């Protein structure tokens, strides 16, 4: 039952019925699970099951989005007040880092222990938000982070914060759309249509009621996501380790992975280059970078615009704290499950290698991801094999013609073809010519039983068994394919994929609403002279929403999910460096003034952008300028100098370009471990480690040496410390938004 307090605090037609809505959704989901299991047993095609489950999810979110429609500007921007339980689910669904579930699990799969930084950072950010930020925003009357800073520090601070919020929300929305599209392209629709469909869905979700629609749909989608993830983890744990919870079986899975690693090394199936011990700390991300990532992600998550919109919609400090605390509990439950899923996926990849599985007996569960081009054995995927068969069947007779046919079909296939050696290409063409095109069962059998055993000797694999160095698998594919790998029915894999898509879509919808608020109210509104507490107009908000949906779809299609997943930590780190000091000092320190806040935000942005851009875009110049602050070894610096001399002495342009590329790669390093271009070994993803102290110091010093805040700013600070929203004359009560 919904309590009277919750009813009084709620907003919109859905608030008083939150418990009933949850019960209806649970019953509908249970009915769908039952029907799809029965349909699979009756022989329904897997694609039909995927479409049915995706259609159910889409129908639910569209119904909720329409039911939560609102003409009220404040509700469009913040979503209005929600019951505590609903606010917790909606706040969790809008939290940017947890929306990138596939990427987080992929990083955990790839980095092992070091990947925990991407879990600990967002959790710490939720704690900081609940203690230092959210309770005070609830009593401010502001409708965004930028409008809060505008009320506290004035027009310039609002505009600067609005531009920063717009940038981070746009990148988060694009990342959510790209992740949704990537999953949909593998299971539901062609890749070229997936991004457009994801953007259209997110737009339809948010268009009727802005953040109100996004909040209620985030509630449903995050419940589905958590249920799918917990259900999958539990099922995998039961199948592999007996009847126990996945969080408890996690320890046994880690031990099993370590044992499999030892077995592979002892049997010569792995070496130091192909095997990175999964449980060894600070192997791929240094200790300093690990701490820096946690700090940077915590600052960014604490001020993430989509997440804080829920705090701005709360009626008082108590409601804001309760909503954030509930979101933290949900996020913690997820955070202790994600590493377990990544570990289970790693175990399923290691198991056939340690068992010395022959290439002709490749696991059946690898067929679909290999057909999607996500699994390559000795550089060749089933997708490439089938594409070459289609090309040769269409009349392509030589390497150039086959390459052109592959390029017309997919640039990824063309790149895979170009990376092969000539003997491998000749063997691939020979086997492809003997395989009828467009016959999946025949091509899988020919790929596994004929091509791979013949390919092994050419790649130095004389035993003809799976070796770790021979496997090139997309970490996301290893995660998504986990239910099938352990023998669960296809329905389980469909619901797992639907849950991951739901989480990414919830994040994208909330980020789009936050971006539209930033554009329509905080940027354009500030430039037009509107007051900071003026909520966005309905038409302007919806036009901004459509614009942001188009831009984010374009960014998602151009950059792709992998690049955007790496850009989201950068965006959060940069936004945290700019906004976190101004927000916290603006709340806790009466002496903080507008000049200090503006210069502090500018300093935070400048330092964060300088470090990230310097390391990634100008690594050689950065290395030479800041050699004394780099943690690179003398040998690495000596190699840098030698490569620089080689570039200067290159005999021609081609040699100079090739040597220059090697020089920049050496200076830049990897995403996780920078090369010679760094300050004390910190990854560019964590630039807030340097920008936060700089912004804090500038804001403190400037505020102390310039005049105190004016009377309206002091009155606003006194108001937010009272902790309850003041209703404007003539405004609707909270329960009638």
pLDDT digits (tens, 9 = 90+) for 595-622: 999 999 999 999 999 999 999 999 999 9
pLDDT digits (tens, 9 = 90+) for 365-387: 999 899 888 999 999 999 999 99
pLDDT digits (tens, 9 = 90+) for 395-450: 887 888 888 888 888 888 888 998 999 999 999 999 998 888 778 888 999 999 99
Summarize the confidence of residues 278-289 as an average pLDDT: 92
**Of residues 391, 106, 89, 46, the one with CA closest to residue 214:** 89
pLDDT digits (tens, 9 = 90+) for 180-189: 888 877 656 6
How high is the mean pLDDT of the chain? Answer: 83
DSSP codes joined into one string, 93-158:
HH-HHHH-HHHHHHHHHHHGGGGGHHHHHHHHHHHHIIIIIHHHHHTT--SSHHHHHHHHH-HHHH
Q: Does residue 732 register a pLDDT over 50? A: no
Confidence of residue 74 (pLDDT cuts 50, 70, 90): very low
pLDDT digits (tens, 9 = 90+) for 711-723: 887 888 887 776 5
Confidence of residue 254 (pLDDT cuts 50, 70, 90): very high
- Those residues with Cβ within 8 angstroms of residue 524's Cβ, 6 or more apart along the chain or in another chain: 540, 544
Distance CA 600, CA 607 (A): 11
- Those residues with Cβ within 8 angstroms of residue 144's Cβ, 6 or more apart along the chain or in another chain: 77, 78, 162, 165, 305, 309, 312, 514, 517, 518, 521, 522
Torsional sign, CA 576, 546, 186, 188: positive
Confidence of residue 194 (pLDDT cuts 50, 70, 90): confident
Q: Which residue has the higher pLDDT, 393 or 690?
A: 690
pLDDT digits (tens, 9 = 90+) for 295-319: 999 999 888 766 666 566 666 677 7
> In the prediction, which pLDDT does 188 show?
63
- Residue pointed to by tokens 């790693």: 346
Which residues share a beta bridge with 376?
472
Q: Does residue 730 register a pLDDT over 70? A: no
> In the prediction, which pLDDT does 412 show?
86
> In the prediction, which pLDDT does 99 show?
58
Cα 528 to Cα 157, 165, 341, 534, 594, distances in angstroms: 15, 18, 50, 12, 20
> In the prediction, which pLDDT does 727 show?
42
Q: Does residue 37 register a pLDDT over 60? A: yes
Helices (H), 271-355: 287-302, 305-312, 317-335, 338-354
Q: Does residue 91 register a pLDDT over 60? A: no
Summarize the confidence of residues 166-185 as an average pLDDT: 85
Q: Does residue 320 register a pLDDT over 80? A: no
């Amino acid at each position: 039952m919904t309590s009277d307090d919750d009813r009084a605090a709620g907003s919109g037609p859905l608030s008083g019925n939150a418990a009933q809505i949850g019960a209806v959704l649970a019953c509908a989901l249970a009915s769908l699970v039952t029907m799809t299991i029965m349909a699979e047993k009756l022989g329904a095609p897997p694609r039909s099951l995927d479409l049915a489950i995706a259609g159910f999810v889409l129908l639910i979110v569209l119904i909720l989005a329409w039911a939560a429609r609102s003409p009220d500007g404040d509700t469009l921007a913040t979503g209005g007040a929600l019951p505590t339980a609903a606010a917790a689910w909606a706040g969790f669904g809008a939290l940017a880092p947890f929306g990138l579930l596939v990427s987080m699990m992929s990083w955990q799969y790839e980095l092992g222990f070091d990947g925990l930084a991407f879990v600990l950072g967002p959790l710490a950010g939720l704690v900081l938000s609940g203690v230092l930020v959210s309770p005070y925003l609830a009593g401010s009357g502001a409708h965004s982070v930028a409008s809060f800073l505008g009320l506290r520090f004035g027009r310039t601070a609002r505009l600067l914060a609005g531009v920063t919020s717009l940038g981070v929300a746009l990148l988060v929305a694009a990342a959510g759309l790209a992740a949704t599209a990537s999953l949909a392209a593998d299971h539901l629709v062609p890749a070229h249509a997936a991004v457009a469909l994801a953007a259209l869905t997110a737009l339809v979700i948010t268009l009727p009621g802005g953040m109100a629609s996004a909040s209620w749909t985030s509630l449903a989608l995050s419940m589905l996501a958590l249920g799918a993830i917990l259900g999958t983890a539990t099922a995998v744990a039961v199948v592999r380790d007996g009847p126990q919870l996945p969080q408890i079986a996690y320890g046994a899975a880690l031990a099993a992975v370590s044992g499999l690693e030892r077995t592979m090394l002892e049997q010569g199936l792995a070496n130091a280059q192909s095997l990175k011990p999964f449980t060894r700390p600070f192997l791929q991300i240094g200790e300093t970078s690990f701490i820096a990532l946690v700090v940077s992600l915590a600052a960014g998550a604490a001020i993430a615009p989509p997440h804080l919109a829920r705090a701005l919609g709360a009626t008082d400090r108590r409601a804001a704290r309760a909503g954030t605390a509930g979101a933290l509990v949900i996020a913690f439950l997820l955070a202790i499950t994600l590493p377990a899923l990544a570990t289970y996926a790693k175990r399923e990849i290691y198991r056939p290698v340690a068992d010395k599985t022959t290439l002709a007996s490749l696991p059946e569960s690898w067929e679909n991801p290999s057909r999607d081009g996500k699994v390559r054995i000795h550089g060749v995927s089933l997708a490439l094999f089938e594409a070459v068969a289609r090309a040769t069947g269409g009349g392509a007779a030589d390497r150039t013609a086959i390459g052109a046919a592959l390029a017309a079909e997919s640039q990824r296939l063309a790149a895979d073809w170009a990376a092969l050696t000539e003997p491998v290409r000749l063997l691939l063409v020979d086997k492809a010519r003997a395989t009828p095109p467009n016959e999946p069962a025949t091509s899988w059998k020919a790929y596994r039983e004929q091509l791979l055993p013949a390919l092994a000797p050419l790649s130095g694999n004389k035993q003809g068994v799976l070796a770790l160095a021979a496997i090139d698998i997309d970490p996301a594919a290893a995660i998504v394919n986990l239910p099938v790998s352990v023998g669960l029915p296809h329905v389980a894999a469909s619901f797992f994929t639907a849950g991951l898509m739901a989480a990414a879509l919830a994040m994208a919808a909330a980020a789009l609403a936050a971006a539209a608020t930033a554009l329509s109210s905080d940027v354009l509104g500030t430039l037009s002279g509107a007051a900071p507490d003026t909520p966005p107009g309905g038409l302007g908000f919806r036009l901004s929403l459509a614009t942001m949906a188009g831009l984010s779809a374009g960014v998602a299609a151009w950059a792709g999910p992998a690049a955007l997943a790496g850009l989201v930590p950068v965006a959060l780190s940069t936004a945290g460096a700019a906004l976190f000091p101004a927000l916290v000092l603006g709340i806790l320190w009466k002496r903080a003034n507008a000049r200090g806040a503006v210069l502090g935000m500018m300093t935070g942005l400048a330092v964060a952008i300088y470090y990230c851009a310097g390391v990634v875009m100008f690594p050689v110049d950065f290395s030479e300028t800041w050699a004394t602050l780099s943690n690179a070894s003398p040998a690495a610096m000596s190699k840098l100098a030698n490569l620089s001399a080689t570039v200067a002495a290159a005999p021609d342009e081609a040699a100079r370009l090739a040597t220059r590329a090697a020089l920049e790669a050496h200076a830049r390093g990897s995403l996780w471990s920078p090369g010679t271009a760094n300050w004390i070994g910190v990854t560019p993803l964590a630039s807030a480690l340097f920008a936060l102290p700089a912004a804090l110091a500038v804001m403190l010093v400037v505020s102390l040496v310039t005049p105190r805040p004016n009377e309206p700013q002091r009155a606003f600070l006194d108001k937010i410390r009272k902790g309850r929203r003041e209703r404007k004359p003539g405004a609707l009560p909270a329960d009638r938004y």
